[in-house]
Amino acid sequence: MVDVFTGLQPLEIGEDNPTALIRRATELNAIDAVDRVLVGYSSIWPHNHSTAPFLAALTDKLSLIVAHRPGVIHPTAAARYFATLDVLSAGRLAINLVTGGSDKDLHREGDYLPKSERYARASEYLDVMKAAWSEPEPFDHRGQYYTAERVRLLTQPLERHVPIFMGGESDAAVDFGASHADTYMLWGEPIAGTRERIDRVCATAEGYGRTVNFSLSLRLFIGDTDDEAWEVAREVEHTIRDAQGTHKFLRSSPTDKSVGRERQLALTEEELHDDCFWTGLVKLLGGFANSAALVGTEDRILETLAKYRDIGVSAFLITTGAEAAWDPSLENIARRIKKEL
């Protein structure tokens, strides 16, 4: 059986009260087919250190993947925060560690570490957090990026560990994920490219004596017929194109470079891959925002997802629409994914 994840923007643009958020969280909590919800991170979004506990308190089944950026707070403070949240949420917590692909976004929060060093810092960051979660006695840490003395948490995570999710395409990202991640998060790619990435991470993880799970992020555009599905996809494409110049749907600056983004853009030389893998939004959004999509009937999309499962994907993060978010229209296919895959 595979897991189903989705994404949730806790407070959408223009929302100045929690009414709609409470409704969205309540709806997701009632859907047994959704296993986890990703609560993303950006220096301009509402802070997920506030929204994640709010969501946990609103729900009793929904598990959260809370995106976290090393460098914003000290790892001992982060360890204490996440340990507390894990206990208060009854173990319904995972962390998506994001080193940051946008220099502008990092600079807003005073983080000027060069990109070449971010994964090295993230590795030390996790070493400190994991020690704080598991060590029964106080310990000191003196590393390249962090120093701390007599570190000890009176409240540790329920399993003395919080699952770590991460993603990235560079050599440094692969090494970091292979050595630290419980789940490696992949942006959507055609079958062959996804198999290549999985094999690469697995080979590296084997060198560390570890195994890693994989999730794949895709927008789904579904219709009763293929033509109806394409009408939905083209409507979203037009919505995003009409907003060009406003940065409404961008998740980073076009000047920011990353190996993953360049790999995504290379796919856009062809609009359609495999059976129903569509790159139209990838091109339109400049390779950002988990914009790869599957377009078709539920049966066609499930056949494609089964092929990803067969090469090692154990979870699918599914969204839809211009904002790449959860929509109630995804509930049926989420249930079928859980039942049929």
Chain segment 265-280, per-residue pLDDT in tens: 666 677 888 999 998 8
- Average pLDDT estimate for 1-8: 93
The predicted pLDDT at position 111 comes to 85
Separation of alpha carbons 131 and 123, rounded Å: 12
- Average pLDDT estimate for 78-101: 95
**pLDDT averaged over every residue in the chain:** 91
The predicted pLDDT at position 246 comes to 64
Residue 28's φ and ψ, nearest 5 degrees, are: -65, -40
The predicted pLDDT at position 254 comes to 57
β-bridge mates for residue 36, sequence order = 5, 63
Q: Is the Cα torsion angle 266, 267, 270, 271 positive or negative in sign? A: negative
The predicted pLDDT at position 247 comes to 62
The predicted pLDDT at position 319 comes to 96
Chain segment 318-331, per-residue pLDDT in tens: 999 988 989 999 99
- Average pLDDT estimate for 25-41: 93
Residue 12 has pLDDT above 90, yes or no: no
Count of positions (residues) in the chain: 341
- Average pLDDT estimate for 47-67: 95
The predicted pLDDT at position 280 comes to 86
β-bridge mates for residue 278, sequence order = 272, 293
The predicted pLDDT at position 287 comes to 66
Coil, strand or helix: which one is 117?
helix
What are the CB-based long-range contacts (under 8 Å, 24+) for 120-123?
120/144, 120/145, 120/172, 121/70, 121/71, 121/145, 122/70, 122/97, 122/176, 123/176, 123/179, 123/180
